[in-house]
A and B are shown apart, each in its own frame.
Chain A
């Protein structure tokens, strides 16, 4: 059974820092991996989608990498801002079944 783990569970950094969020999954047979952002009490906003054949995707200050063979993905946030404060969720898609989520990393960026 696929399990997704995110480390750390929580992270507090001062504004301007670069940071890395980690995601690992136990079954490497994934279709794709998606990173989401969730603000308190809100739904999910898709940040980056990495297909299984890709190694990374970039959007603005965000860069996500995927190493399928080792079951790992990282989300890199450059020059963090207070507006980046949210919970970041990693989810894997196994051949069209529902996404399987990690518990998330709650990020707090102080000004």
Chain B
């Protein structure tokens, strides 16, 4: 089945530094990848939609200059949290849809990244 590999699974960084999270679709091409954030005991909230070769679309309230998204190929999307602060500590997770199957096969999720900013 479709697999999305997300790295790192956990990261602790100092306040003010930047952290990059990668998501790769291993056995399918993903024109679109979605980035979510999940706070404790909350649901997944969409942050942005990443389209291969074009600029990401951000949800209302998400700072595009703080959360940089790059989708340079059909199998790789990255999320960089710039100048991280403790309030950015959260669980970040990506998902992708198979370009050929579209939505018929649902969405595949990465394993998530637990970010802790100290």
Contact = CB atoms under 8 A, between A and B. Distances in A.
Nearest to B59: A98
B107 A34 contact: yes
A31 B42 contact: no
A63 interface: no
Interface in A34-58: 34, 36, 41-44, 46, 49, 51
Interface residues of B, number: 25
Contacts of B103: 31-32, 93, 95-96
Contacts of A43: 6, 93, 109-112
Given A103-B43, A104-B43, A44 B106 contact: no
Contacts of B105: 49
A79 interface: no
B112 A99 contact: no
Given A43-B111, A99-B34, A89 B106 contact: no
Interface of A: 31-32, 34, 36, 41-44, 46, 49, 51, 89, 91, 93, 95-104
Given A46-B106, A104-B43, 19 more contacts: A32-B106, A34-B107, A41-B112, A43-B93, A43-B109, A44-B44, A51-B104, A89-B43, A89-B44, A96-B97, A96-B102, A97-B49, A98-B95, A99-B44, A99-B46, A99-B95, A100-B46, A103-B42, A103-B43
Interface of B: 6, 34, 36, 42-46, 49, 91, 93, 95, 97, 102-112, 114
10 contacts: A32-B103, A43-B110, A44-B93, A89-B43, A91-B107, A96-B97, A97-B49, A99-B95, A101-B43, A103-B42
